[in-house]
Amino acid sequence: MTLLDVSDIHTYYGESHILEGVSLEIDEGEVVALLGRNGVGKTTTMRSILQLTPPVEGTITFDGEELVGKDTYEVAEAGIGWIPEERRMFTRLSVEENIRAAVPDSQRVPEALETAYETFPILKERSDQRAGDLSGGQQQMLAIARGLVGDNDLLLVDEPSEGLAPQIVTDVGRALMDAAEEIPILLVEQKLGLALDLADRFYVMDHGQIIDEGETSAVSTDDERLRRYLSA
């Protein structure tokens, strides 16, 4: 069943027409990768879904409910979690306080902590540390954990491997793989290998439009067409 249905959206920054009729779908249980070079509109697509930069044309339904015209907090309440590139969190609060703050229903905090620590044992070891003192990879895990326990039905994950060392990218990839068992994900990821490993399907964007799509099982990292789309 279609969970998220983005249909022919047009989004502007001021006078700049950034998204020129983007359509994509995410089904229940799916991980979908949004691929494309820098600046083609991937983050803007996420911001459009979240109503941070609302589209001026087109529709976005989530679980059958129209999102265009809602406030961003209403999109969050509807069950869409966002893990932005800059891994937003409370840097002065501890790891545990950050997880607690992501749980809307305080009665569910113990369960949420258990889920988070089971998925990311390193966070349990660091539970009393300030989030701002964690390494980049640990911060990314905390950001994913917060998305997981946040009573969400879909996660938008923007460039999770950005700025991380190769070994840490592997850990974060594994963490996302675990998360994907629980929740559908729309993933923006520049590392093609990681994106193809994680996702069931992909869309390719260029100049604010979707120019290709397919099943990840049908392509590999040396696919000529994909490489051409993604090379600078």
Ligand X SMILES: Nc1ncnc2c1ncn2[C@@H]1O[C@H](COP(=O)(O)OP(=O)(O)OP(=O)(O)O)[C@@H](O)[C@H]1O
**Closest to 195 in 3D by CA, of 212, 211, 219, 168:** 219
Nearer to ligand X, 115 or 190 (CB): 190
Nearer to ligand X, 123 or 188 (CB): 188
Nearer to ligand X, 13 or 29 (CB): 13
Among 40, 49, 67, 75, interactor with ligand X by CB under 6 A = 40
Contact flags string 6-35 toward ligand X, x per CB under 6 A? -------x--x-x-----------------
Please report, for the chain, how many H helices and E strands are present, in that order: 9, 10
Contact 175, 141 (CB under 8 A): yes
Residue list 72-131, contact with ligand X (CB under 6 A): none
Residue 42 within binding range of ligand X, rule CB under 6 A: yes
Phi first, then psi: what are they for 54, rounded to 5°? Answer: -65, 140
Among 17, 29, 39, 227, interactor with ligand X by CB under 6 A = 39
CB of 25 to ligand X, least distance (A): 19
Contact flags string 200-229 toward ligand X, x per CB under 6 A? ------------------------------
Query: Angle 109-119/136-149 helices, nearest 10 degrees?
Result: 140
Q: Is 222 exposed, middle or buried (0-12, 13-18, 19+ CB in 10 A)?
A: exposed
What residues pair up with 205 in beta bridges, in sequence order?
210
Q: Interface residues with ligand X (CB under 6 A)? A: 13, 16, 18, 36, 38-44
